[in-house]
Amino acid sequence: MDDAHARLEADVAALEELPVFVAYNANVDAIVRVDEELASYLDRPPEPGAHPPPSPLASKRELATAITHTMAAGHGDEAAMTDEFAATLESELRPDSQQLGGQAGIMTNLLTALGAAPITFTYLVSERQRSMFEHPDAVRYPIVEDGKVSYVPLEAFTNADRTKINWVFEFRAGDELFGVRAAADTRFIAASRPPEFDLVAGDLDETIDQVGAVVDGALLAGYHNLTPDHVEEGYEEAHRHARDVLRRLRSGDDLDVHIEYAVTQDEELRASMYEWILPEADVIGVDTHELTLLHEDAGLEVADEEPTEETPFEVSEILTHYRMLAALREELGVDAIQLHAMAYHLAVMDAHPEPEAARRGLEFAAVTAATKAARGEITAPEDLETGLEYEPSTQGREAIELLADHVEKSAEDGTLYTPTVAACPNRVVDEPAGTVGIGDIVSCSSFILELALLTDRDPGSEELG
């Protein structure tokens, strides 16, 4: 067995029965290919590709505006829908396929596929949504009775008839819609926003410290799932409550928390997340578009022009990304911010005690991301062998070597790791089976492997009740 396969086997073994809390957003992704049939359903916008999407989306013309703008921009995007328009799509549009979506849902499926032991909370668990979990018997759902948290297998739990559905419109570079040609393989998400997704979890909010006591880390997302119509007291009140719950979660122990950021067109919502939620993280996960938005929201400046997906990739982009991440990490006061880019994965950290663990996490993420891209799903540890079939990006290696020179270190086998920065090349799949959730796969896999490597535990020893 060569080194890469042996290392992968050791990484998967380290994850066995790793207890992790995951919340808040899970839904069903209804996936639609952008093609002539979709064009015939939508209404042509006045200037296709020219304008960002309105939020919330309320018509087929506004949806076409959003999709064509995303295609022209070359990066994924998301916007909320009104409840009425969400109901219209559900009654009129037929998806090409369906899968579990939402960051918490995607990460839970990965955790169970790799043998970890997630405790997952989300607001609506219908029979339809539950059927999308690959291993519901391996997922514990927290319930509260008389002030005590207990856990039921997800396969035996439902609490709603309604299903949260997000519509995912996927396209590949060169695809056209209303005369707009897609600049990259990516997608636009039209997201439903049920009022239940208000960051209030009832009795669990007051008892969440009991969950924190039996897990080694937490993967949290969905803080962008708010709308003005569903939050009576405003975003600040909702996010302050969520911040207090997060602090209560980690109150009994030094619990590592990863917050996965998500783009939203609502500037007030982004500002509230920035002020109340992101500073509570140990690690924040972003893609290049999200990094740019966060950087702008923070009012930070970078001497170099910020890279975009609209221009050809240049290896020097990594220096700009590094500076942006470093400035943002210092501004937020978090331990680390991790970027998943097309050619490389990059983390900027505050004096990491064991930087090799960070490097291993990023390398593992490159394998899982390639597997997800190539296969469209990960259902068992053996699937990850697929990821090893794809070579690390040559451009990614070159970029990392340039960054290593910049920080006056050396790149080892195309990777870089120091107490303050870690990077590894991505494994690029030229024709991905799908693009939805790959960023979540990267963030989840790197976080949990690093967590497992740094946690002194006996696999399978946790008693969850």
DSSP string, 225-277: ---TTT-TT-HHHHHHHHHHHHHHHTTTS--EEEEE----S-HHHHHHHHHHT
DSSP state of 415: B
DSSP state of 354: -
**Residue 406 domain-assigned (yes or no):** yes
Are 317 and 238 within one domain?
yes
At a CB cut-off of 8 Å and minimum separation 6, what does 421 contact? 322, 346, 347, 348, 349, 403, 407
Tally of domains within the chain: 2
Closest among 358, 374, 362 to 429, alpha carbons compared: 374
Are 174 and 321 within one domain?
no
**Residue 465 domain-assigned (yes or no):** no
pLDDT recorded at residue 464: 40
Are 242 and 226 within one domain?
yes
Query: What strands, in cross-sheet order, belong to the sheet with 336-340?
Result: 148-153, 140-145, 117-120, 19-23, 217-220, 256-260, 283-287, 336-340, 344-349, 421-425, 416-417
DSSP state of 337: E
**Residue 461 domain-assigned (yes or no):** no
Query: What strands, in cross-sheet order, belong to the sheet with 77-80?
Result: 77-80, 186-191, 165-171, 27-33, 97-101
| Contact indicator for 158, 125 with CB cutoff of 8 Å | yes
Residues 76-97: tens digit of each pLDDT: 889 999 999 999 999 999 999 9
Closest among 188, 252, 191, 259 to 223, alpha carbons compared: 259
Instruction: Tell me whether residue 311 is exposed, middle or buried, using C-beta atoms within 10 angstroms of its C-beta: 0 to 12, 13 to 18, 19 or more.
Output: exposed
C-alpha–C-alpha distance, residues 233 and 463, integer Å: 39
Residue pointed to by tokens 């609209």: 310
Are 323 and 341 within one domain?
yes
Are 318 and 351 within one domain?
yes
Are 177 and 95 within one domain?
yes
Residue pointed to by tokens 């093609």: 35
**DSSP secondary structure string for all residues of 42-96:** S---SSTTSSPPPSSB-SHHHHHHHHHHHHHHTS-EEEEB-HHHHHHHHHH---S
Are 118 and 179 within one domain?
no
**Residue 464 domain-assigned (yes or no):** no
| Contact indicator for 190, 166 with CB cutoff of 8 Å | yes
Are 109 and 76 within one domain?
no
Cis geometry, peptide bond prior to residue 235 (ω within 30 degrees of 0): no
**Residue 462 domain-assigned (yes or no):** no
Are 51 and 112 within one domain?
no
Closest among 170, 171, 241, 245 to 207, alpha carbons compared: 245
pLDDT recorded at residue 310: 52
Are 185 and 286 within one domain?
no
Distances (CA, A) of 48 to 59, 136, 264: 15, 42, 21
Are 16 and 57 within one domain?
no
DSSP state of 13: H
Please measure the distance between the N-terminal and C-terminal CA atoms of the chain and give it in whole angstroms: 39
C-alpha–C-alpha distance, residues 246 and 137, integer Å: 26
Total residues belonging to the chain: 465
**Residue 227 domain-assigned (yes or no):** yes
At a CB cut-off of 8 Å and minimum separation 6, what does 335 contact? 281, 282, 283, 349, 350, 352
Check which CATH number belongs to the domain holding 169 and give it. Answer: 3.30.1110.20
Instruction: Tell me whether residue 51 is exposed, middle or buried, using C-beta atoms within 10 angstroms of its C-beta: 0 to 12, 13 to 18, 19 or more.
Output: middle
Give me 177's structure tokens: 């819609």
**Residue 215 domain-assigned (yes or no):** yes
Give me 222's structure tokens: 């969905």
**Residue 460 domain-assigned (yes or no):** no
Q: Which domain holds residue 78?
A: 31-99+163-191
Are 259 and 318 within one domain?
yes
Sequential pLDDT tens for the chain (465 residues)? 478 899 999 999 999 999 999 999 999 999 999 999 999 999 999 999 999 888 899 999 999 999 999 999 988 889 999 999 999 999 999 999 999 999 999 999 999 999 999 999 999 999 999 999 999 999 999 999 999 999 999 999 999 999 999 999 999 999 999 999 999 888 999 999 999 999 999 999 999 999 999 999 999 999 999 988 888 778 999 999 999 999 999 987 779 999 999 988 889 999 999 999 999 999 999 999 899 999 999 988 765 565 655 555 688 999 999 999 999 999 999 999 999 998 999 999 999 989 999 999 999 999 999 999 999 999 999 999 999 999 999 999 999 999 999 999 999 889 999 999 999 999 989 888 877 789 999 999 999 999 999 986 554 444 443
Check which CATH number belongs to the domain holding 284 and give it. Answer: 3.40.1190.20
